[in-house]
Structure formats: C-alpha cells, structure tokens
Structure 1
Amino acid sequence: MTHSNTAAARALADAMTREQQVGLLLHPIIIIDNDGDPDASSGFGGPTLRQLIEDHGIRFFCLGSIPDPAATSRVLNRLQDIARGSGSRLPLVFSTDPRHSFMQNDGAAHRAAGVSQWPENLGLGAIGDTELVRTYGNILRKDYLAMGIRMALHPQVDLTTEPRWARQAQSFGADPARTTELLLAFLEGLQGPALGPEGIAATVKHFPGGGPQLGGEDPHFPYGREQVYPGGAFGEHLAPFRAAIEAGAAAIMPYYGMPVDLTVDGEDIEPVGFAFNRQIITNLLREKLGYDGVVLSDFGLVTDIEIGGKPFPACAWGVEHLSPLERVGRLFNAGVDQLGGELDAPLILRAVAEGLVSPERVKVSATRLVKLMLDLGLIDNETDTRSSAALLPLPQDAFLGKQAQARAVTVLTNGSDDLPVLPLARPRKVHLVNLSEEALPEGWSAVDADTAEVAIVRVSAPYEHRDRYFLEAGMQQGSLDFPEEEVERIAALGRRLPTILVVTLNRPAILTPLVDAVDALLVEFGIADDILLEVLTGERAAEGRLPFELPRSMAAIEASNPDVANDTADPLFPAGWGLSLSSRNPKLNKAGAQ
C-alpha cells in the first residue's frame, strides 16, 4: 500500500456524501446474462442493476451466474459506463468465487466454462508444485482481467483438519506449512509482487481458519455454527493468514463459525461469529497482526431471506437475537469494512442515524475501499478488455490444466509390486461405470461385465443429502461411509473381473471396505473422463500425494480432535501417501505440447 494512494483515498472519501460512502460498504451477488440489461433484476427478485448502481451507490458486486467470457466482458463494460456517469463516478469492482475447476456450488465455486479447467485446490495440494500454483494464479489473473473481474473471493487457506467438513475442496490440505507455501505462490501469480493495474485483488479466507467445525457441519446452517479447538491448535490455523498479511493480501474474509471455549493469548473469546467478534477482527487481525486491508464479511450475515421456497437464515451465530439493524452495528464495530451479500444501504444509513455506527467508522471503511480501487488502477485507468476475452481459453492454459488434472491423481494401491495393474497396456474390452465410453482411447471398446477384460469404476466420495435450507443440497456433509449397497456392488464386480476403482475426493472418504475388494484404487480431485483414462492407460503421469489422511473409520474420526491435522488413529492411508504412475508418453508431460 503506497502512502500516496492512502492520502488520495482519504481525500476522495472525504469528498463523498454519506450515502455514497455507505454504498461502498455493500457487496451483493448479481446474476448477468448475454443481454446484460441494466434494467432487469439483479437476481433473486431484487432491484435492477441500474438501481443498485445509481440509487444505492453500490460499487462492488460478486458475480454469480455469468455468460461466456466475451459476453461477460461486454456486459461489465456497459455497467462500468453507468457507474462512471452517476453518483460518486467511482468505477465498479466485480468479484468472483473460483471458476476454473469442476465443482458447481452456488455458495462456493463455479464449474469452469469458457476458461481452462483445473483440479480443485486440493489437487494442487496433492501435486505440491509451487511453480505450478504460481502459474495457475497468473492464468486466473489474465482470465479475470480479460473479463473485467478485478477481485477474487479466494484463495481459501482453511486447514482441512476435520474430515467431515464440507468446504475442503477449495483448500490446499491439512498441513499449515504446505498451505502457506502454496498460498504465497498463488498470491504472487494473482496479485503480482504488489497490487497494481494488472493485478487481481485476492480475498484470503476464512479468517482465522474455518476447518475445525464441530462434527464437521457447515456453518451456512444453524446446526453447523460451532467451531471448536479441543487440541489447542488455533495457532496452526492462523499461520497461513499471518503469511497472507505479510505478502500484502488485498482483502481478508472472516468465517461464519462461532468459536466455543476458545482462549487466545490468555483471553477468553466471546462465542459469536467471527465477523461479529471485535476480539478477533480488531484486537487480533487489525492490532496484533497489523492488517489494514479490506475486511469483507462472508455472505448473508444480516438479513434472513428465502430463495426458491427454501429458508436461508442469516448466519448471525451467537447474535441471532439481534435485529438486522443491531447486527449491522456489531459487524462494523467489530472491524468489518464491507457486508458480503447485502444490498440494503438504507439499513446502514439508519444504523448511523441511530448512533449504532459512527460517521467516522463509515469513512474509515470507505477510505479502505477507495484505496483498493486506486491500488487496482481503476480510478485513473479505463481498459477495454473485450478482444482478449474472446480468445479464452488459451490453448497453452488448457493444456496445463489437463496436465494438472492428471498429475493430481493419487494412486493408493496398484496390484502388487510384482504384478501392478496399471498402466493398462494394449487395447482392451472395458466395462465402464460412471465414465463415458466416448472417452476411451482408439481401439478400446466398452462392453458389459460378462465379456469385459477389466472394469473401471468411478464414484464420488459419499455424503448425506440434505435439502431443507437454500444451498444445503450443494454442500457435501455428514458421514464419510459408503452405503452398504454401493460397497457390495463394487465388491461384486471385483469378484468377477479385475477392477480399478477411482474415487473423486472433495473431502476424505472411508475406503476401508473397498481397498481389498478392487485390484487398484486411485483418488482424484477433479479430472475429465478422457484425461483420467489417459492416466490409466499410461498416456499421462499421476504423481499426487494425499493432502490429508484417509481415516480408517467414522469411529476414528469421532474420537479425533477436529482442529488437529491428520489426527485419527491408525489411518487407512496417511497424509502424503501416493504411488507413482509414470507415463509412457513423455511429450504429454512437457508444457506446451498439444
């Protein structure tokens, strides 16, 4: 952060009306389509985009569903014109959750469309290549710039210490040192050495580490609000954020969770959600850790809503009894600068009018947000990016993404040392389960189990389907045990013919009843069918190492400490486990090959 930008931001904020300052403190989600009609609803039945920009003075928007990159760039440029011609004349800052992987979860990540496709961050953790992660961050930087997106609501650096937790896919794994190393490489690629006109503002989340959820439940929902530290490992979860602050992370997002029985530096921490917690945001993050960037709250902390007929109560854990007005007061007085997912500017103005938030406090946050715009070069630098967006995805980026998908595959078992099953040689008759036969190599054929020489089965890690609340159906929570009937189907196939089992891991799974039922067992973290089959047939190399342990049983998980990494007794496979599977086609392991 340059002193000149700080002074300039203060001057600009001072010149703004109170209403314009308050508009900067909101960061709602919007949905855009190919038409990009500014007079259409912004999504979820809310005000129009023009109303949010002109009447509410909002300048930060999180993009939900978007069209292809070229259309997105065109629409965002049109909205920028509206912003620069109204109110404060400040530009818009568009943000996004991850968009370059496989998961589609409206509350966490978007499946790649129009950009190169990579494994989830867990897969990058499995590879453990810092230069690859730096390159990945740089690819995202260029893609976001081309579309007109200037803020990333990632990376996620929560340690995956509770195997049941639903939000592990976008983390790098359980180890704080490895997570920190990969985080720093990603920040360098995304933001650059110092944030500037060619950089993307990173939002490092979820402070102070969201992994140790009680029972692994998700705090989007009332039953998952408690975060616990029975192993005393709070400092380990904090470690990546210390590094992010030192590296100049543009923004930090606190988690929803509410700490229970937590003591930090001899002080008992109030059991309220982290964003509402002044001890965590002001005393720890601001004062002890010295962070003066933007603190963006996670989304949906103030207003109870209903979407698609399903309730979505505000994640105001520990302060549920407070009114929305009082919650606003708690958030800003705790040290938050911007309210994720909220668009009610009059509510903040009322909080100021009634003395719950001081005008000075509003100006402090408005100044930080204007400074972020200045650091990004948005105020003095207008760039039309439509031509570069039309070129996405770049062929070399698509190649690297496919290479990473393959490299992240982690081989757990492979026949015996004397008689490995993989790679599969020569054309075969294959029985496929949950794989497209169109992805088979030339000369191979898909047949039924009665005539097959080998079976390849692909399954996803198990979870308990829940669908009471909005977003709940997309969160993979609950038991890690496979249903008995699925175990028996796979085991029955394994008794009939050689069987290769591939498990997609968005979090760990209990593989104990399956490990001896199949001839080879692999896990992956996001991979296309054709790339997976190229791994199995030796066209591409697999080199992944588990970014977390795979517990032996649910009982072992329940007896472990949710805040301590790799803490279950006698894991089936320890963290770092993985057998090498080299490629017979070295040219596919060279960057730039087609």
Structure 2
Amino acid sequence: MKINYTRQLPLALLLTAMACNSSQPTGSADTPATAAAAPANYRDLNKNGRLDVYEDSTRPVEERVSDLLAQMTLEEKAGMMFINGTFINADGSIVKTAETKGMAARLPTAEESITGKHMNHFNLWDAPATRALATGYNAIQKVAENTRLGIPVTIASDPRNHFSESIFSMAADGFSQWCEPLGLAAIGDEELTRQFADIARQEYIAVGMREALHPQVDLATEPRWARIGGTFGEDAQLTARMAKAYILGFQGEELGPNSVACMTKHFSGGGPQKEGLDPHFEFQKGQVYPGNNFDYHLIPFEAAFEANTAAIMPYYGVPTGQTEENVAFAYNKAIITGLLRNKYKFDGVVCTDWGLITDVNMGTTIWPARAWGVESLSEEDRVKKVIDAGVDQFGGESVPELVVKLVQDGKLTEARLDESVRRLLRQKFQLGLFDNPYVEVEKAVEVLRNPAFKAAGEASQRRAMTLLKNDNKVLPLQPGKLKLYVKNVDPKVAALYGTVVENPKEADMAIIRLKAPWYPVETKNPFARSFHHGDLDFKGKEKVEILQLLKTVPTVVDIYLDRPAVIPEISRNAKSLLADFGASDAAVLDVIFGKAKPEGNLPFELPSSMEAVRNQKEDVPYDSKDPLYKFGFGLRYE
C-alpha cells in the first residue's frame, strides 16, 4: 500500500514537527551522572571569565542547550550539521606529515575542519594502535576547546569489534573480536548481545568514540544484497530483539556520560534492494516491495525506538512506489517528517548516510552523490531538500557554507537550523562531553587489553558456528588421531589438532574453509567492485576443485556466510557442513574437534538454486522455493 503520512496527519501536528583532563568513566551505561555544585575551576569554554549556564554541569540539559544556542553564530550552527572523516597518525599526531598516507592524506586535518568549517562531529575509518588513538583523540578535543565557544567534538565509528570480512566493519586491532551481528543473531541470546554491546561501549569510551554508527537493523529479505553481513538476518522479530539488547548495551536505559550514542540504520529498512544492487552506486535499481511488505521492515526500528536510540540514519535507496515522490529516503519528507517524526514521534538526531550532496573524484572516475531521484538539483538545492525533509545532519559532507548561503538568501530560516542544532547539542550534553571530553591514555590501553573482553569475543565466534550437516555424527572429530588435509586453513593452527599432510589422498579427513561467493559489478568505481554483489553460487573451476576434493576424501566444509550461499552440491558431497559468521581458524577447529559446541541457528535461509533466488520477493522473508536449509535451522552435538 502506498503511504503518505504527511497527508494523513493534522496540519497543526505537521507544523509543530517542522516548525579539566581526566577520563570518562567506563562503568555501566546505566549509572546515572551525579550532579554537583558548580566547580571553582570550571571549564571556561567561551573564555569570558564567568560561569555561563552552558558551562555549569549542575544546570538542566535543556537550559544549557538554550544558553549555548543563543551564543552561536549562523556559521557555527551550520558547521555542527556536518560530520565527515578525520584521521589520527600512528604516533598520535593529527597533522599531515610525510608519513600520512592513504585515505588520511586525502582528508582535511581535524583542525582545518574545526577552525575553518566550525565542524565538531567526525568519524574515524582507519585508526592507529590504542595509545596513539587515545592521544590523538585528546589532541582533537584540545583544538575544539580552543575555539570561540569550546564546543567539544563527537567522534563516531562504524563497528570495530568483529572478526569480519566486511568492508563496513573497521579493523578490530586492539578491540575485542566478536562474531558479526549475523552471528549474534545465530546465537539468539539477548543477554549475550547486550554483553557484547556493553563491552564494546567500554572500549569505545576508553579511546573517545562516543557515537556508534550502528546497529544495522535492515532485514536481509533480498539474499543478494551486498550489506547483509552487518545485519541480524531476515526475521523482523529476531532482529528487533537483538536491536533492543544492542542499543541498551551501548546506551543504557537513557543517554548519559557513560553511554555511547547509537545511530540505528538504515530507516526505514534498506534490505529490499532490486536484484540486491546496493544504492551506494548509480547502477542500483531502487528498493522494491512486490510483496507489499513495507511495514514488516519497520518492526526492528520500533524496537530501537523503545530502547531510545539516540539517532537514526536513513539509507540511500528510493522506496519505489511507497510515497508521493520517488526520491531517496533522506530527501523524502513523507518518510522523515511524516513517518519518523510524526508517526513515531522521534525527536533524536537524524543523520544522512555518507555523501548525498557532492560528487567524489576518485581519480579514474567520478563517484556521483547519492542524490537518487533529485540528481538534477544543484548541491545547494539538495541541502535544502534534505533539511526540509526533516533531517538534522549531513554524513560524509563538509559544505556548511551551503547552509549559510541558504539562510542568507532567505531560502531557509535560522529557526529551522535551531531545531536541528538543538538536537545535536542535546546529545553532546547528555554524553557529558561539555564537562569532560578527555580520556586517560594509559587507562585506554588497560581497557582494550582486558583479557575477559577478548575471551568473551572469542567465545562468541565459537558459539555462533552453525552445524548444517553431520553425516553419521562424524563431528566432533578426535584431536590428535587423524591425518588432516587442510585448505584455506593455517597449517600451523591445524597441526595442533592432528597431523597435517600435503596430499588429500593421504588424509583421513579434509577440512576446507570457504567464503560465500560473490561477483563484482562491472564498473570503474573501485569501491563498488569491492561490494559483495552478484550470484550466490560457486561457478566454473572453483566449484569443480571444491567438489573434486569432497569426492576424494571425507571432508568437513566450513563456509563463512556474509550473505546466503547456494551450495546444494557442496552440501550433498560434504561429510559435514558448518557455517560461520566471522571466526578464526582456531575457533572453527575448536568446534570441529569438540573443544567448543556449535550453538547457532541460521539467521536466514539458504536457497536451493539461483532460480529460486531470482523468483523470490525482495521484501518478503524466507520465501524462496524449497530452500536447502530453512531459516532457524541448526544441528547440535549430542
């Protein structure tokens, strides 16, 4: 059914909706902040020699927000509405040197963005080791403290705590390494998911990361979609349970000085992409709803609202045929104001996904802005349309001058900017950043070295393993008694479990690790070529070699699933078949040899053929014909 929440709601409702250096604590996110008398040595952020309301930690948050908002210039307000990447060097410095390479070399320094653009929200992609990361974070906050109003910086991050193959999961160097969200869903334990988020929260806070650009609660109803690996699978109720536990672990019952703010994504559900083609790129074909199942994709977001998620990120896609305008979510007033703001009463921050306004020159090609449906608009008019839709912040952009010009030209009111800036300031105050934005470097090192955190992450990799086939109960194998042939497994690790041989014909058992197949889209965009698009089945020489091994020696197959895989022949010929959702060789072998037990159940179905995949509906869960393994399937050791 086509939705038009804007027309369905009363006009009055629509008008209302539009009208000192010590570490942050890392205890429970639910521990309330303790109010105290205004300190004698308060942080005089605006350098006027007196205690302003916004500098007074004993005053209510809304009073502090109003006081600071009244002191901000138009340019400072506009700068707050943008978040983009920055970098920290390996030595903890934040200036460009001869050693600054790769993406960092193409980014402005934090100081350039803070002083030149009045920006105070940044995300980190690559990050150095813990000590340098915490040192660089403090250096960024010092730059911010020295600005006219001393507004502190919020550092955001994509997931960093997963043993992952996903390009959207940052390197987990120093952080505890857990299974991916699909693995948490496979385990299905809400307490474990909350424990994961609580541990990740402590690690984030220790190094100064106060906003999580996650969880990703899209539903994986289109099995070819390239971003399934960051989801909790295709079932709305399971995803809702995981999402709520996840947000509570990061934020606590309410946002406070011990919280990491969650930006739940991608509203209103990015899963039903036509043919699975991702809308990061111009070859996408829009989101489609052949099963009329738009509302099903809202269920996880409703759970996120119950958990008081601090922020929401809409996706790039166009919800084809669902609103009056076929424009991308962040440009779509019916989605942002009508559905999110009015129906769900969401008054937190809404931030676009990265890069909706400006094109990116990638050297060999231009990566167009993800302005789907409004490509003909100028950059300035794109900014206006996003703000008019009800969005507060622009991800991956650094053009506050366009907002300033729109106000100066009378196309936007400063009062409208105040609505968004108030939300952004409120979050900074709730997180305690105005009172103490700094971290203790050595404390950060200690937190990220916590052996209990690392052990919990490694245990999750094992628990998430999902046993799909176990002929004659061949698993678990007996360690130390078998000649093993291994492929895509470190022989040194395998040698701890048996005698490794080089010829499969000499082996008692073979162990092979596979990854779900994918085939890059033909494009000049190198980032697009790294997305796991395309068919889900093995083909050609690779498939022949796999099946040849399976027919030569009894074989245990482990397959990493960041998307469903179509593997009927492999399943039929394997002696045993396991799925993992981000796991080390040691984790996989521990399960194969019975040192740990597989506890997972599939968070999505595995289709039986590509024909079945092509015939299923993109917006409907577990609907392919005669699946090889159904959603929720998982065997156990006796």
- Normalising to structure 2: TM-score of the pair? 0.87
User: How far is 1:388 from its partner?
Assistant: 2.0
Q: Which residue matches 1:592?
A: none
Name the aligned partner's letter for residue 189 of structure 1: G
In the alignment, the residues of structure 1 paired with residue 437 and residue 497 of structure 2 have an alpha-carbon distance, to the nearest angstrom, of: 53
Is residue 2:390 matched to residue 1:335?
yes
Moved over 4 A (4+): none
Residue from 201, 210, 213 that aligns with 1:150: 210
1:284-324 alpha-carbon deviations (Å, 9 max, x no partner): 10011100000010000000012353432111100011111
In the alignment, the residues of structure 1 paired with residue 329 and residue 437 of structure 2 have an alpha-carbon distance, to the nearest angstrom, of: 37
Is residue 2:176 matched to residue 1:116?
yes
- In the TM superposition, 1:172-571 aligns within 5 A as 172-262=232-322, 268-307=323-362, 309-391=364-446, 392-415=448-471, 419-427=472-480, 428-440=482-494, 442=496, 444-447=498-501, 448-466=503-521, 468-571=524-627
Residue from 23, 29, 32 that aligns with 2:79: 23
Q: Secondary structure at the match of 1:320?
A: coil
Q: Which residue matches 2:129?
A: 68
Q: Secondary structure at the match of 1:297?
A: strand
In the alignment, the residues of structure 1 paired with residue 440 and residue 617 of structure 2 have an alpha-carbon distance, to the nearest angstrom, of: 49
In the alignment, the residues of structure 2 paired with residue 553 and residue 355 of structure 1 have an alpha-carbon distance, to the nearest angstrom, of: 57
Between the two proteins, what is the percent identity of the paired residues?
39
In the alignment, the residues of structure 2 paired with residue 464 and residue 37 of structure 1 have an alpha-carbon distance, to the nearest angstrom, of: 39
Name the aligned partner's letter for residue 597 of structure 2: A
- Normalising to structure 1: TM-score of the pair? 0.94
Q: Secondary structure at the match of 2:473?
A: coil
Contact 1:460/1:505 (8 A) holds in 2: yes
In the alignment, the residues of structure 1 paired with residue 508 and residue 392 of structure 2 have an alpha-carbon distance, to the nearest angstrom, of: 61
In the alignment, the residues of structure 1 paired with residue 141 and residue 165 of structure 2 have an alpha-carbon distance, to the nearest angstrom, of: 28
Is residue 2:149 matched to residue 1:88?
yes
In the alignment, the residues of structure 1 paired with residue 364 and residue 125 of structure 2 have an alpha-carbon distance, to the nearest angstrom, of: 19
In the alignment, the residues of structure 1 paired with residue 424 and residue 349 of structure 2 have an alpha-carbon distance, to the nearest angstrom, of: 7
1:451-509 alpha-carbon deviations (Å, 9 max, x no partner): 11111111110001245214213210111111132222121112211011111100100
Residue from 177, 199, 215 that aligns with 1:139: 199
In the alignment, the residues of structure 2 paired with residue 103 and residue 355 of structure 1 have an alpha-carbon distance, to the nearest angstrom, of: 48
In the alignment, the residues of structure 1 paired with residue 497 and residue 133 of structure 2 have an alpha-carbon distance, to the nearest angstrom, of: 41
User: How far is 1:404 from its partner?
Assistant: 0.6
Q: Secondary structure at the match of 2:573?
A: coil
Task: Single out whichever of 545-554 and 424-433 deviates more from structure 2.
Answer: 424-433
* Corresponding pairs, count: 573
Name the aligned partner's letter for residue 435 of structure 1: V
Residue from 231, 234, 241 that aligns with 1:171: 231
Q: Secondary structure at the match of 1:471?
A: helix
Contact 1:458/1:502 (8 A) holds in 2: yes
Task: Single out whichever of 385-394 and 498-507 deviates more from structure 2.
Answer: 385-394
1:405-440 alpha-carbon deviations (Å, 9 max, x no partner): 01111111011xxx2111111421111110001112
Residues 102, 193 of structure 1: alpha-carbon distance in 2 compared, 3 angstrom cutoff: same
Name the aligned partner's letter for residue 399 of structure 1: A
User: How far is 1:121 from its partner?
Assistant: 0.3
In the alignment, the residues of structure 2 paired with residue 257 and residue 242 of structure 1 have an alpha-carbon distance, to the nearest angstrom, of: 20
Residue from 217, 221, 228 that aligns with 1:161: 221
In the alignment, the residues of structure 2 paired with residue 94 and residue 181 of structure 1 have an alpha-carbon distance, to the nearest angstrom, of: 27
Name the aligned partner's letter for residue 221 of structure 1: F
- In the TM superposition, 1:124-135 aligns within 5 A as 124-135=184-195
In the alignment, the residues of structure 2 paired with residue 302 and residue 313 of structure 1 have an alpha-carbon distance, to the nearest angstrom, of: 9
Contact 2:87/2:94 (8 A) holds in 1: no
Contact 2:182/2:232 (8 A) holds in 1: yes
Q: Which residue matches 2:23?
A: none
1:147-196 alpha-carbon deviations (Å, 9 max, x no partner): 01100000000011000001111111111111111111111110011110
Name the aligned partner's letter for residue 193 of structure 1: E
User: How far is 1:57 from its partner?
Assistant: 0.8
User: How far is 1:351 from its partner?
Assistant: 2.2
In the alignment, the residues of structure 2 paired with residue 192 and residue 399 of structure 1 have an alpha-carbon distance, to the nearest angstrom, of: 23
User: How far is 1:8 from its partner?
Assistant: 2.4
Name the aligned partner's letter for residue 576 of structure 1: G
In the alignment, the residues of structure 2 paired with residue 430 and residue 141 of structure 1 have an alpha-carbon distance, to the nearest angstrom, of: 41
Residues 383, 39 of structure 1: alpha-carbon distance in 2 compared, 3 angstrom cutoff: closer
Contact 1:70/1:386 (8 A) holds in 2: yes
Unaligned stretches of 5+ residues in structure 2? 1-31, 34-58
Contact 2:166/2:229 (8 A) holds in 1: no
Unaligned stretches of 5+ residues in structure 1? 263-267, 583-594
User: How far is 1:44 from its partner?
Assistant: 5.4
User: How far is 1:356 from its partner?
Assistant: 3.1
Is residue 2:118 matched to residue 1:57?
yes
In the alignment, the residues of structure 2 paired with residue 44 and residue 364 of structure 1 have an alpha-carbon distance, to the nearest angstrom, of: 35
Q: Which residue matches 1:586?
A: none
Name the aligned partner's letter for residue 87 of structure 1: R
Contact 1:254/1:274 (8 A) holds in 2: yes
In the alignment, the residues of structure 2 paired with residue 345 and residue 92 of structure 1 have an alpha-carbon distance, to the nearest angstrom, of: 16
Contact 1:20/1:88 (8 A) holds in 2: no
Name the aligned partner's letter for residue 377 of structure 2: L
Contact 2:218/2:266 (8 A) holds in 1: yes
User: How far is 1:220 from its partner?
Assistant: 0.3
In the alignment, the residues of structure 2 paired with residue 360 and residue 309 of structure 1 have an alpha-carbon distance, to the nearest angstrom, of: 42
Residues 39, 70 of structure 1: alpha-carbon distance in 2 compared, 3 angstrom cutoff: closer
User: How far is 1:349 from its partner?
Assistant: 1.3
